[in-house]
Structure 1
Amino acid sequence: MFYNKSKKEVLQTLNSNEKLGLTTKESTERLAKNGKNILESSEKKSMIKAFFNQFKDFMIYILIIAAIISGFLGEITDAAIIILVILLNAVIGVIQEAKAEHSLEALKQLSTPKALVKRDGTLSEISSEDIVIGDIVILDAGRYVPCDIRLLEDVNLKIDESALTGESEPVTKDSSLALDNENVPLGDRRNMAFMSTLVTYGRGVGIATSTGMNTEIGHIAEMIKENTDSTTPLQKKLAELGKFLGFAAIGICILIFIIGLFQKRPFLEIFMTSISLAVAAIPEGLPAIVTIVLALGVTKMSKENAIVKKLPAVETLGSVNIICSDKTGTLTQNKMTVTKFYCNEIYDTADKLDINDTVSKLLLEGNILCNDATFTDDTKTGDPTEIALLEIGYKYNIIKDELSILHPRVEEIPFDSDRKLMTTVNKYNDVYYSFTKGAIDNLLKICNKVLIKNTEVDLTDNLKETILNKATSMSSDALRVLGLAFKKIKSSNMTISTLESDLIFIGMVGMIDPPRTEVKDSINTATLAGIKTIMITGDHKDTAFAIGKDLGIADSINEAISGSELDKISDSELNKNIDNYRIFARVSPEHKVKIVKAFKSNGNIVSMTGDGVNDAPSLKAADIGVAMGITGTDVSKGAADIILLDDNFSTIVEAVKKGRSIFKNIKKSIIFLISCNLGEIVTILISILFNLPTPLRPIHLLWVNLITDSLPALSLGIDEEETDIMNEPPRNPNDSLFTGSITNLILNGILIGLLSISAFILGGAIHSNEIAYSLQHFDISGVILGFNHLNNTGNIYYPQTMAFIVLSVSQLVHSLNLRSDKKSIFQVGIFSNKYLILSIILGIVIQDIVTMVPFLASIFKVINLTSKDWLLVITLSITPLILNEIVKIFKRNKKRMR
């Protein structure tokens, strides 16, 4: 730590000479010893390795086994379809992963390509990669700092550190500052300059103290390199579901073998039946459907100015209940703005300034002339505070370029941190006006009069107290206060002591980096949706609280905590008390990661928004990292999961809405597929338990799972948003995918199974007198006898065709039930999801084609049905819709009674 050492100590420690710098020989030796001044990259994963990593999923293992078994049984088409789904899923995963990890590359690009150093007693411009510890580095306006530096000299030096520390204003540096404390926050180390920050004003000289990965930005790069578990909740739930279904499939196979042994069935028949059940237990199209639904969600999000880099981030954002937001540039506009003024004994907002009043106009003119910044519609350069003064003048049509021609500057005394004042002398006709602006306390000490209603009045103790009270009022609102005074002089050749004495106080302005106009409403919307907004900033605690209070983030200063206070709290204590804080001020990058992890430790799903280099580690540590697309650095964009194209906090709330809707739709798709598969299992299990022939062949089940069910599942995945979705609390990340839906899933699965086996039995009854007779007398032995007759005559295809079509069509119709668990399909709107209706129609048409085209019928071993058969099939198939509509009526009535 060099910030708490004197200049002499630093030079001695690093064995360098302030006037001569290092010799070429010394710099070469140090470069060989410590390495280049660059940021290391993490080892890149090869495309082949990334591809094979996509197969590390239990459900994928089961699908591969199913494909192998299908091929072994000669069902080459079934095997090919399963393999195609697996490969498609892997390719999509690799493409998304390839775009995800570029943060370290962006960090490298932030390093300044050239740097000015002293070598062998002369100034040399070298590559920043060749800077070594001990180099004497020259800084000037517009130049990036090439490494971490302990300042030795400074002349009005200001450095923009917002990307590193979150500080909204450039930091005034002071090389002579003595810092004895060993735990000074990064933003308060004013005798230091840090790698990749920007010099905005003045010049300086310093000695390189750290290079490459040992710099502050290097520490950030190291944190980004750390491997963290980035698995999202949906991925975890699907992995759990895959394992459950896999074990269920194995269990079903074992169960069937045991039952088959007791029934003394042929081995091949038992084997075929068990495979059928295993296929029925696994929704083969689920991984691809979820991936496609997420991809479609990404397209929706992009239309709302939110670019999603990782598909699973869509659903994770919908379950977020904590948004940790950087203040500068995210909640605020990232520009200083004059909001209040005081002159002529008037204290009001800046928009109430009377430009026709002489004193008010002089207040604006003086602040514009005593100013080194530039401002046009296209460009703004200089200190943000001075830019704010030019901008308020611009609003009142007082343009600096025009004013400077009318009243040219003839003399100036630059600002310095000791005086905290700046003075310029401008020509006004036959006299000169000396304008002095700066800190109100320092300014009042050199004033003896006040300009009130164009009259010079003595600055009495009462007037001074009034002015100070107004300044205090501005400060309490976290405004930065600048006062302005002047005097008329006959000659411009005067000393500082003469120019800055016996002045006439004109007035003062208060400015702040104001909140974005739309942010407050967005925060209110988030609050109603059960989402807590947390402000994290590098600004001082009082400034942060003032902004937070205005936005409705916090009500009490007790809800704010500073970085130095965080250092005194253990991780366990912070985890315990984290919910008591809404504002974190004066924090470092390490603090941000600590805060995010503390919220996550309590089971929260955390989103972190930011735009600076300093935000990158916390963006990566959060469940969802959201970077700003306009003001965001490449580093923050590289580390984030989602990028906002408009830098608008409201877009985050809209993204949450989209995320919730997308997850809900994915859940609809999953519930639909699992309930349909359960129906298939019930159908086959009943046939086994009653020793009936297998009603569905493996190819029937694969066809239904991969083709017929897939289109409705996809259509449910793009269902319309529910109007009241933001009135619901965030989804509990610990909840199962089936929370609140398990009863509906099981009952509908059983219903579909019963309808399918009924179609099988009724189809057999139509072609077998034994079955018809046994049905009349409820004799199961007669039914079995009848089916044996069908087996012998080859007419088993007929009842299997009936079961196949009822299974398929009843599942298609059942998709309508999933659109809402309480609202009638008529309330939701039958045609409001046109894709679903088309899917159902197309599914029915495809089933008809399979039975009518001889070539396909021979593959599926089905026969064409008569119009009477179709009437029976339709009657059975629409039963799930009718029964669910009746159940929903009772649900709505129960809700009304409550």
Structure 2
Amino acid sequence: MGKDQSLDLVRTQTMERAKGHAVPIEFRTLSMQVTETQRSNKTGDLKTTKGKNKNKDDDVDEPETDFFSTIDFHKLNIPEVSLRFNTNETLGLSQAEAQRRLSSNGPNILDTRKPNYIKKILGYVFGGFCSVLWIGVITFFVCWQPILQPDLNPTNLALAILVASFSAFQDYSTAQVMSSIMDMIPADCMVIRDGQLIKVPASTLVVGDRVSLSLGNKVPADLRLVQASNDTRFDRAVLTGESEAIEGATHYTDENFLESKNIAFMGTHVVQGSCVGVVVLKGNDTLMGRINKLTTGRKEKVTIIQQEINRFVRIIVCLTIFLALLILSYWAGFLNVKYHEFIPVNVLLVTLMGCVVAFIPEGMPVCVSLTLMMIARRMRSNNILPKALTTVETLGCVNVICSDKTGTLTENKMFVTNIAFLDNESTPDEARTMIEKQSNSKTLPLSEEAPSVLALRQLQLATLLCNNAKFDPDTINLPVPDRTVHGDATDSALLRFSAQVADSSDLSPCFERTQEIPFNSRNKWMMSVYQGSAQNPQPIKALFGSDMMSAGMVANEKNSQLVFVKGAPDVLLPHCTSFVSGVSNIAQTLTSEWSAELSRIQMQWSRQGKRVLMLCKGRFSPYYAEGRSNVGSSISSAHQEELARQGLQELCIIGLIGIMDPPRPEIRDTIASCRRAGARFFMVTGDFGLTAAAIARQIGLFSSHREPDTYEDIANPSRKGAKNGLDASYDDLGVFEPGRPRFRE
């Protein structure tokens, strides 16, 4: 590709997008765009035009194709990324080129709508009841000396100024709250220019810049990752609402730009590891920029309370006009004729305006503003930022609330309550007691120990190694319940269980993790691959026997390595062919009877509101894997697929773990309050259906104890009692599962 062609590509990708681009939020519009996107992909036309079905109430243009569906930055390999954006893989951009692009394409900032201050001031001064009050002010001025006799009454003027001041203060307060979205962009960032790592203002970033990120940094623009440590993690909660950190990768993991793990989005945080990324989108073109445009780029619609206030104002005005005409008619037809000097004109005008002002509830706008402001401040204290005070009122019009379960309806403080082998069930306390009685819980497992103890130690090892949580070194000497754990709630519960059952501090050094596939909501499992330590093969020999000795005697690629997998039982069961007996510690064939027993345990625990995880073991031979990579480097896509394919073959079930996540104590009352307010409450979760139903009963979402209906149940044409088939059945829904994060966004 010639230099001119390369520059044309750069200009094409870095030019500012038209202001008409926005992320549509309406379902019908989105479904139409999917069709148009498919057509445009076939023809290769990536241009967008203004939407034909533009909402007349919107102030932003709707593109006919989804902007992010036309982007392929995540699919490019690293050399292609450098070529596309005309940047050097090691030196980055030069200062001169960065300055040229900054001058040509503008800074990396989010646009904000500039308010029309003249219109706002006129609205403050003459809007609502102020218009009637100003009539009174003018009338009293006319009737004031020296034109006529009555003394000036400044009350109306003071009321008009007070109401206008409250309206202005209300808008100022909400503007200050909304300005917090600008905090999503860091002030400074580290970039590579002319081969030097320097700190520059984030607003001066340009497309093609190579940005270096480390733990705690905010992502200053949308980046295509070109370097990433094996432990790189991003917190995308600000975009998706998911508290689980997303791993970073240098290869694309999804056809969708928004789902691929080699893209770091503006406003997200680096919570682990370090990485380097090339800026592919900046400012308003980023995902955060388009969300900001949706937030600020639409005209404010009149809310219900504003409609009611306007209706009330019209009624008051009509009544005051009627009263004024009645008094004026009575004065002109009777009083002025019979008693000509009784009420002069100036007194009549003052009397008329006095009656008009008496009708006006001057304090109502102030009370409404104060009430909404108090509610907005309470919401802000809970990290909820209303765009305007009218948003608070709009919440009162909500009739459907969809809530995530983990961490929202529950405390997200998980702990292990049950453990089970297919032929034996127990609790963590019983397991600890058994190990203490029959062996030394503070030493490594020995081959001479009882088979039941070795089975427990094998389960303990699986929970320890197939885990990304770590104890805080500063609290490692405290009792296990008091230790601080760094990691997600599920891994933290398993780590505490492993430490409570027996001392696990000496087990970890005996194994070296070579690769892993982190848990995600699509696969619903996590895989870790280990090779044993040649210096201490004792745990492998004791727990896995001679058939697994090749998993760690020497760090030889040709030897099989240990695979540990944890995940949902219903997902992993089709990949399992055997199970470990909790009595004999011997692998037995997984027959249909034992599969039924596993399902029984899962159903029983799930009905108690427990999350059920299954832990399995297997083998992986890296010598036969394609696209293999060195330990600690980012796993290629082909190698990850091979690891998943081979690692899931002929798994052996070690055991089941039951985890409880208690509901928040205030949730039952909250749901009851929502229902009293006329709002339907729904729970969206990725948990097993029976677990979700049990939690729903505990928080008062379900009142019935019968088995929950599934989609297949309500879609069954023979379902009895349905009024209009499937549509009628949706009135009875209360829980949606599985709710994957990409469906919740």
TM bracket (short chain): 0.5 to 0.7
Which residue of 459, 463, 474 maps to 1:363? 459
Report SS of the residue matched to 1:132: coil
Secondary structure of the residue that 2:223 maps to in structure 1?
strand
1:387-422 CA-to-partner distances (Å, cap 9, x unmatched) read 33234457x487xxx742x54614411442299224
- The 1-side partners of 2:600 and 2:293 are apart by 47
Q: Answer yes or no: is the 8 Å Cα contact 1:486–1:505 preserved in 2.
A: no
Q: CA deviation at 1:357?
A: 3.5
> Taking structure 1 as reference, are residues 297 and 112 closer, same or farther at Cα in structure 2, changes over 3 Å only?
closer
Matched, 1:420 2:521: no
Q: CA 1:424–1:96 in structure 2 vs 1: closer, same or farther (change >3 Å)?
A: farther
Cα separation, partners in 2 of 1:393 and 1:384, compared to 1, 3 Å? same
1:187-235 deviations in Å (ceiling 9; x for gaps): x333422122233345544432111221111111111212432654333
Structure 2 counterpart of 1:457: 586
CA–CA distance in 2 between the matches of 1:459 and 1:527?
Answer: 51
1:64 maps onto 2:160 in alignment? no
Label 1:421 to 1:519 Cα distance change in 2 as closer, same or farther (>3 A): same
Q: AA paired with 1:437?
A: F
500-509 or 372-381, larger mean C-alpha shift: 500-509
Alignment map for 1:444-593 (pairs within 5 Å) = 450-453=580-583, 455-462=584-591, 465=595, 469=599, 479=611, 481=613, 483=615, 506-509=654-657, 515-534=663-682, 556=709, 558=711, 585-586=739-740
CA distance in 2 between counterparts of 1:177 and 1:471 reads: 38
CA displacement at 1:17 relative to structure 2: 4.0
Pair 1:353–1:445, CA change in 2 (3 A): farther
Give runs of aligned pairs for residues 209-228 of structure 1, distance below 5 A.
209-228=280-299
- 1:629 alignment partner in structure 2: none
Whether 1:373 aligns to 2:478 is no
Change (3 A) 1:162 1:346: farther
- 8 Å contact kept, 2:421–2:656: yes
What is aligned with 1:258? 329
Distance change (3 Å), C-alpha of 1:256 and 1:330: same
Supply the AA of the counterpart residue of 2:124.
Q
Q: Structure 2: any 5+ residue segments left out of the alignment? A: 1-70, 436-452, 476-481, 519-525, 544-561, 620-629, 632-642, 703-707, 715-726
Q: State the SS of the aligned residue for 2:224.
A: strand
Equivalence map 1:659-674=2 (5 Å): none
Evaluate the alpha carbon distance shift between residue 303 and residue 209 of structure 1 in structure 2; reply closer, same or farther with a 3 A threshold.
closer
- The 1:335–1:211 alpha-carbon spacing in structure 2 relative to 1, beyond 3 Å, is farther
Taking a change above 3 Å as real, the CA distance of residues 56 and 387 of structure 1, as seen in their structure-2 partners, is farther
Structure 1 residue 514 displacement after superposition: 6.6
Give 2:491's aligned residue: 386
Task: Identify which range, 65-74 or 413-422, moves more after superposition.
Answer: 413-422
1:373 partner amino acid: A
Give the aligned residue type for 2:564: K
Match of 1:145 among 196, 219, 235: 219
CA distance in 2, matches of 1:63, 1:254: 18
Match of 2:32 in 1: none
The normalised TM-score by structure 1 is: 0.51
- SS of equivalent to 1:21: coil
In 2, distance between residues paired with 1:205 and 1:471? Answer: 46
How far is the alpha carbon of 1:101 from its aligned partner?
1.9
Render the CA deviation track for 1:668-693: whole Å, top value 9, x for unaligned: xxxxxxxxxxxxxxxxxxxxxxxxxx
**Offset of 1:241 from its aligned partner?**
1.9
Q: What residue number does 1:111 align with?
A: 185
Question: Contact 1:201–1:383 (CA<8 Å) still a contact in 2?
Answer: no
Query: Is the CA contact 1:337–1:514 (under 8 Å) kept in the aligned structure 2?
Result: no
CA offsets 1:3-27 (integer angstroms, 9 cap, x no match): 5633255444333344443333333
SS in 1 for 2:154: helix
For normalisation by structure 2, the TM-score amounts to: 0.60
Q: Which SS does the other structure have where 2:109 is aligned?
A: coil
Counterpart for residue 409 of structure 1: 509
Shift of the alpha carbon at 1:356? 1.9
One-letter code aligned to 1:56: F
Q: Which of 321, 327, 349 is 2:399 aligned to?
A: 321
Would you tell me which structure has more helix in proportion to its own residues?
Answer: 1
Task: Quote how far apart the aligned CAs of 1:531 are.
Answer: 1.6
CA–CA distance in 1 between the matches of 2:713 and 2:213?
Answer: 36
Letter in 2 for 1:210: L
Q: Percent identity?
A: 25
The answer to whether the 8 A contact 2:185-2:266 is kept is yes
Unaligned ranges ≥5, structure 1:
488-494, 562-574, 593-613, 615-898
Of 70, 91, 96, the match for 1:25:
96
Q: Secondary structure at the match of 1:91?
A: helix
Could you say if the C-alpha distance between residues 449 and 509 of structure 1 is closer, same or farther in structure 2, counting changes exceeding 3 Å?
A: closer
Residue pair 2:376, 2:389 contacting (<8 A) in 1 also: no
Q: 1:279–1:480: structure 2 CA closer, same or farther, 3 Å change rule?
A: farther
Matches within 5 A, 1:670-681: none
With over 3 angstroms needed to count, the CA separation of the structure-2 counterparts of 1:203 and 1:56, relative to structure 1, is same
Contact 2:219–2:266, Cα closer than 8 Å, also in 1: yes
Structure 1 contact 68–79 (Cα < 8 Å) conserved: no
Letter in 2 for 1:255: L
Separation in 2, partners of 1:559, 1:527:
27
| Mapped partners of 2:533, 2:351: distance in 1 | 93
Does the 8 A contact of 2:419 with 2:428 survive in 1?
no
Larger Rg: 1
SS at match of 2:155: helix
Q: Which residue of 2 aligns with 1:79?
A: 153
Shift of 1:120: 3.8
* Separation of aligned partners in 2, 1:516 and 1:23: 54
Q: Which has the higher contact order (CA 8 A, sep 6+)?
A: 1
Cα distance between partner residues in 1 of 2:649 and 2:333: 110
C-alpha distance in 1 between matches for 2:296 and 2:713: 30
Contact 1:370–1:423 (CA<8 Å) still a contact in 2? Answer: no
